[in-house]
C-alpha cells in the first residue's frame, strides 16, 4: 500500500494556544500532516489540546518535540519566539522550515535569523485573526477562514520556503499577502496595538472612579459602549506586554499621534465648538462605516 501524500510528514507546533491550536485543528481536518506534535509550558494545556484532537503527541521538551519535523510553527508570545527556537535547534535537522505567527515582525526576524544553521529557513508570518481568548480550549478550525495572513520574508528567506508557507495559510482558509517587516510593524502599531493599549487604559481609567451608588460599583453600570469598546482588554496581558516591548518605537509614535487627536477634541469641547465636534465625529463615522 502506498504512503498517503502529506504536505508535511511531521509538524511541530510550539505554543498550542488559540492560534497554534486553531492551525493544528485545521491541518488535522484537511489531513495535511502525517503527524502533529505540540510543545508547550503547561502540561494541562497540552493535555487539553490532545483531547480536542489537535495533536498526535506532546512534550514540554522543545528539542525532543521538533525531532524529525519538516515544519516547525512557533505560536508563543513574541518575546519568547527566538528563545523557544534556540531551545528547539538541537533537535532540528535540515531541511526544515520554521515559521511563526507573531504580531510583530522586524525584531523577531533579527533575533531568529541570527540563530539559524545552514539548511534551516525562517518564514515570518502573521495571521490577522484572533479573539480575546487564550489557550487550546479557545481554538477553532475556522479561525483563519476568509482572513488575511501576512508573510514578511526576511533577508534569509528563500522564495521556495515562502511559497510553502503561503500554501499552508491558504489551506487554512486565508488570503495571503506579502509586506515589508517594518511596514507591517508600523501599520499594526496603528490598527491593532494602539487599540489594545487604549482599551487597557480605558478600563483602568474608569475603574479608578470609586464612586458607589446604592451599593453598586461604577462598572456595574457599564453596558454596550463600554463592553464593546473594551472587549480586547480581556486579551492575554503576557502577549500584549511582549508586543509593546517588541514594537516599542512604533507604538510610542502611535500613542503620541492619538494624544494629539484626543487633545484637539478636548479643546473643541472646552471651547463649546459643537459644530466642529459634530464635524469631527462625522468624519470618523464615515470612515468607520466604510469598513463594515
Ligand atoms: P495563547 O492562546 O496564549 O497561546 C500561547 C501559547 O504559547 C500557550 O499555549 C503557552 O503555553 C505557549 N507558550 C508561551 N510561552 C512559552 C514558552 N516559553 N515555551 C513554550 N510554550 C510557551 O496566545 P495566542 O493568541 O495563540 O498567541 C500566540 C502568538 O500569536 C503570539 O505571538 C501573538 O502575537 C500571535 N497572534 C495572536 C493573535 C490573537 O489575536 N490572539 C492574532 C495573531 C497573532 P502555556 O499554555 O503553557 O502558557
**Nearest by Cα to 143 from 151, 152, 134:** 134
Contact status, residue 153 vs residue 126, Cβ threshold 8 Å: no
239 CB near ligand 1 (under 6 Å): yes
**Nearest by Cα to 36 from 8, 61, 17:** 8
pLDDT tens-digit readout, 153-206: 988 899 999 999 999 999 999 999 999 999 999 999 999 999 999 999 999 998
CA atoms of 148 and 177, how far apart (whole Å): 7
For residue 45, give the ligand 1 atom closest to its CA: 46
User: What are the grid coordinates assigned to 190, written together?
Assistant: 496603528
Phi, psi of 62, rounded to the nearest 5 degrees: -60, -45
User: What are the grid coordinates assigned to 252, written together?
Assistant: 510610542
Q: Is 148 left (phi over 0), alpha (psi -120 to 50) or beta?
A: beta
pLDDT tens-digit readout, 54-92: 999 999 999 999 999 999 999 999 999 999 999 999 999
Q: Is the pLDDT of residue 4 over 70?
A: no
Q: Is 75 exposed, middle or buried (0-12, 13-18, 19+ CB in 10 A)?
A: buried
Please choose from 12, 14, 16, 19 the residue to mutate so as to test ligand 1's pocket, defined by most ligand atoms within 8 A of CB: 19
Give the chain's largest Cα–Cα span: 81
pTM of the model: 0.94
Q: What is the 3-state secondary structure (H, E, C) of 66-97?
A: CCCCCEEEECCCHHHHHHHHHHHHHHCCCCEE
Contact status, residue 97 vs residue 70, Cβ threshold 8 Å: yes
CA 171 to centroid of ligand 1, rounded, Å:
21
Q: Is the pLDDT of residue 290 over 60?
A: yes
Q: Is the pLDDT of residue 136 over 90?
A: yes
Phi, psi of 236, rounded to the nearest 5 degrees: -60, 120
Question: Which one is predicted more confidently, 210 or 41?
Answer: 41
Burial 140-171 (b: 16+ CB within 10 A, else e): ebebbeebebbbbbbeebeeebbebbbebbee
CA 260 to centroid of ligand 1, rounded, Å:
33
CA 234 to centroid of ligand 1, rounded, Å:
15
Amino acid at each position: 500500500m502506498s504512503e498517503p501524500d502529506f504536505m508535511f510528514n511531521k509538524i511541530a507546533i510550539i505554543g498550542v494556544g488559540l492560534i497554534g491550536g486553531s492551525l493544528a485543528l485545521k491541518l488535522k481536518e484537511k489531513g495535511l500532516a502525517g503527524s502533529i506534535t505540540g510543545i508547550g509550558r503547561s502540561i494541562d494545556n497540552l493535555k487539553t489540546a490532545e483531547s480536542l484532537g489537535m495533536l498526535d503527541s506532546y512534550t514540554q521538551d522543545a528539542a525532543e518535540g521538533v525531532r524529525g519535523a519538516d515544519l516547525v510553527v512557533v505560536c508563543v508570545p513574541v518575546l519568547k519566539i527566538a528563545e523557544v527556537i534556540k531551545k528547539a535547534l538541537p533537535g532540528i535537522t535540515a531541511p526544515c522550515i520554521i515559521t511563526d505567527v507573531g504580531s510583530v515582525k522586524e525584531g523577531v526576524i533579527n533575533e531568529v535569523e541570527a540563530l539559524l544553521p545552514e539548511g534551516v529557513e525562517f518564514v515570518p508570518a502573521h495571521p490577522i485573526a484572533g479573539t480575546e481568548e487564550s489557550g487550546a480550549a479557545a481554538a477553532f478550525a475556522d479561525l483563519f477562514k476568509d482572513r488575511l495572513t501576512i508573510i514578511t520574508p526576511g533577508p534569509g528567506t528563500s522564495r521556495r520556503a515562502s511559497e510553502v508557507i503561503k500554501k499552508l495559510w491558504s489551506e487554512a482558509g486565508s488570503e495571503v499577502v506579502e509586506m515589508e517587516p517594518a511596514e507591517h510593524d508600523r501599520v499594526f502599531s496603528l490598527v491593532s496595538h494602539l487599540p489594545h493599549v487604549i482599551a487597557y487604559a480605558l478600563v483602568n481609567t474608569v475603574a479608578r472612579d470609586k464612586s458607589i451608588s446604592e451599593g453598586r460599583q461604577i462598572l456595574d453600570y457599564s453596558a454596550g459602549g463600554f463592553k464593546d469598546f473594551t472587549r480586547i482588554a480581556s486579551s492575554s496581558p503576557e502577549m500584549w506586554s511582549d508586543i509593546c516591548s517588541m514594537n516599542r518605537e512604533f507604538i510610542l509614535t502611535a500613542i503620541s499621534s492619538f494624544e494629539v487627536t484626543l487633545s484637539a477634541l478636548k479643546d473643541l469641547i472646552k471651547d463649546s465648538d459643537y459644530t466642529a465636534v459634530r464635524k469631527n465625529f462625522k468624519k470618523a463615522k464615515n470612515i468607520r462605516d466604510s469598513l463594515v
